[in-house]
């Protein structure tokens, strides 16, 4: 039992690392652009497809395939931000509705291009097993956790130790004041959305080899990412990180006690419960996002 628990905790940490990446993208875009982007999961999925495509048709190197996926996804994010979200700025309701439309467009374009069948994404790292105490996990699982933590560290450094990162944080806290002190808010929005898009591509590229690549592969991570940022209080990098790992671990461990059919419902119950009982998240204070 203890071994099973330890195994599920490790699996949860790995899932959590992916949810953290998704949550960070959602949280950044929400915090800075005030857009709740339901199409973020579709971007994750597209990232997975692009990575698989580059890996199997262009160059059989996983790191380069990830880079290729990020580079290829950035223009997609740029089009979404400039073409849809920027014109709808401050119109919360229509941004959400438009992002739902984008989900339909992206998911079904992928269906048209790649077909409905799930694609295999076989990597050597999923075959290599690494002993970890009495348990053995695939190298890919370690890779996911490592890459997730590296992204968190990079993002944290960017936001706190670069000038542009300071501008991003300032815009999130006070858009009006940011404008007054001469921050190019349009540019901050574009860069923030690009970072969010890159994180989505990263998440999709890490997720693909673990399971399969298919058109709905982004739906779960989107909902778990949403649950994570709500749990974390919607305002901070650390909230999203803790929330993401918490959702991943709870989800994995819950399979030991409740039927796996209900595994996904755990995240939704977390969303509903937290929002209803503690609307500012478990660690949240009142932020300006509360109307």
Partner 1 sequence: MKPRDVVVFAVVTMGLLLLPAFYGRANYLLHILVLSGLYAIPAIGLNLMLGYTGLVSLGHAALAGIGAYAVALLTVKAGLNFWLALPLAAIASAAVGAVIGALCLRLRSHFFMIVTLAFGLILHSVMNNWDSVTGGAAGFAGIPRPDPIGFAAFRSLPEFYRLTVVATAAVFAVQALLVRSQFGRVLDAIRQDEILTAFKGIDTTAYKLAAFAIGSGIAGLGGALEVSYLRVAAPSSFDMVESINLVLIVVVGGAGTLLGPILGALVFVGVPEYLRLASEYRLVIFGALLVAVTLFARRGIAGLFAPRRAKTA
Residues that bind partner 1 in the complex, under the rule CB under 8 A: 30, 36, 84, 87-88, 91-98, 100-109, 111-112, 219, 223, 226, 230, 259, 261-262, 264-265, 268-269, 271-272, 275-276, 279, 290-291
Those residues with Cβ within 8 angstroms of residue 7's Cβ, 6 or more apart along the chain or in another chain: 135
Q: Considering the complex, state which of residue 111 and residue 130 has its C-beta at the smaller distance from partner 1.
A: 111
Q: How far is the CB of 289 from partner 1 (least distance, A)?
A: 8
- Written as six digits, the tokens of 9 are 């905790």
Q: At what angle do helices 139-161 and 185-210 cross, to 10 degrees?
A: 170
| 91, burial (CB in 10 Å: exposed 0-12, middle 13-18, buried 19+) | middle
Q: How far is the CB of 99 from partner 1 (least distance, A)?
A: 9
Q: Considering the complex, state which of residue 132 and residue 262 has its C-beta at the smaller distance from partner 1.
A: 262
Q: Considering the complex, state which of residue 122 and residue 285 has its C-beta at the smaller distance from partner 1.
A: 285
Q: How far is the CB of 116 from partner 1 (least distance, A)?
A: 8
Q: Give CA–CA dist 7/132, Å, rounded.
A: 10
Q: Considering the complex, state which of residue 108 and residue 127 has its C-beta at the smaller distance from partner 1.
A: 108
Q: Considering the complex, state which of residue 130 and residue 269 has its C-beta at the smaller distance from partner 1.
A: 269
Q: Considering the complex, state which of residue 105 and residue 135 has its C-beta at the smaller distance from partner 1.
A: 105
> Half-sphere exposure of 200 toward its Cβ, with a 13 Å CA cutoff?
34
Those residues with Cβ within 8 angstroms of residue 156's Cβ, 6 or more apart along the chain or in another chain: 237
Q: How far is the CB of 86 from partner 1 (least distance, A)?
A: 11
Note the maximum CA span of the chain: 59
Query: What letter does residue 283 receive in the DSSP assignment?
Result: S
| 74 neighbors 198 (Cβ within 8 angstroms) | yes
Query: What letter does residue 210 receive in the DSSP assignment?
Result: H
Q: Considering the complex, state which of residue 70 and residue 226 has its C-beta at the smaller distance from partner 1.
A: 226
| 31 neighbors 234 (Cβ within 8 angstroms) | yes
Q: How far is the CB of 101 from partner 1 (least distance, A)?
A: 3
Q: How far is the CB of 263 from partner 1 (least distance, A)?
A: 9
Q: How far is the CB of 261 from partner 1 (least distance, A)?
A: 4
Closest Cα to residue 224, out of 272, 166, 271, 182?
271
Q: Give CA–CA dist 281/30, Å, rounded.
A: 15
Q: Considering the complex, state which of residue 94 and residue 127 has its C-beta at the smaller distance from partner 1.
A: 94
Q: How far is the CB of 149 from partner 1 (least distance, A)?
A: 27
| 7 neighbors 166 (Cβ within 8 angstroms) | no
């Amino acid at each position: 039992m203890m071994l099973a628990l330890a195994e599920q905790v490790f699996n949860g940490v790995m899932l959590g690392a992916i949810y953290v990446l998704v949550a960070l993208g959602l949280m950044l875009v929400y915090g800075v652009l005030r857009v709740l982007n339901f199409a973020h999961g579709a971007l994750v999925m597209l990232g997975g497809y692009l990575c698989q495509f580059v890996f199997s048709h262009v160059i059989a190197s996983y790191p380069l395939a990830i880079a290729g996926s990020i580079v290829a996804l950035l223009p997609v994010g740029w089009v979404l931000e400039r073409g849809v979200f920027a014109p709808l700025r401050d119109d919360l309701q229509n941004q959400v509705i438009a992002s739902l439309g984008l989900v339909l467009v992206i998911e079904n374009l992928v269906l048209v291009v790649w077909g409905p069948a799930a694609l295999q994404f076989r990597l050597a790292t999923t075959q290599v097993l690494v002993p970890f105490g009495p348990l053995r996990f695939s190298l890919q699982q370690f890779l996911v956790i490592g890459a997730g933590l590296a992204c968190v560290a990079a993002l944290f450094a960017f936001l706190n130790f670069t000038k542009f990162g300071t501008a991003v944080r300032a815009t999130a806290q006070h858009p009006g004041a940011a404008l007054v002190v001469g921050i190019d808010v349009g540019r901050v929005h574009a860069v923030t959305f690009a970072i969010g898009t890159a994180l989505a591509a990263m998440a999709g590229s890490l997720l693909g080899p673990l399971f399969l690549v298919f058109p709905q592969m982004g739906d779960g991570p989107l909902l778990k990412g949403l649950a994570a940022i709500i749990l974390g209080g919607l305002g901070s990098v650390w909230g999203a990180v803790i929330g993401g790992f918490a959702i991943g671990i709870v989800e994995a461990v819950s399979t030991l006690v409740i039927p796996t059919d209900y595994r996904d419902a755990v995240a939704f119950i977390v969303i509903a419960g937290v929002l209803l009982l503690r609307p500012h998240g478990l660690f949240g204070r009142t932020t300006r996002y509360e109307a």
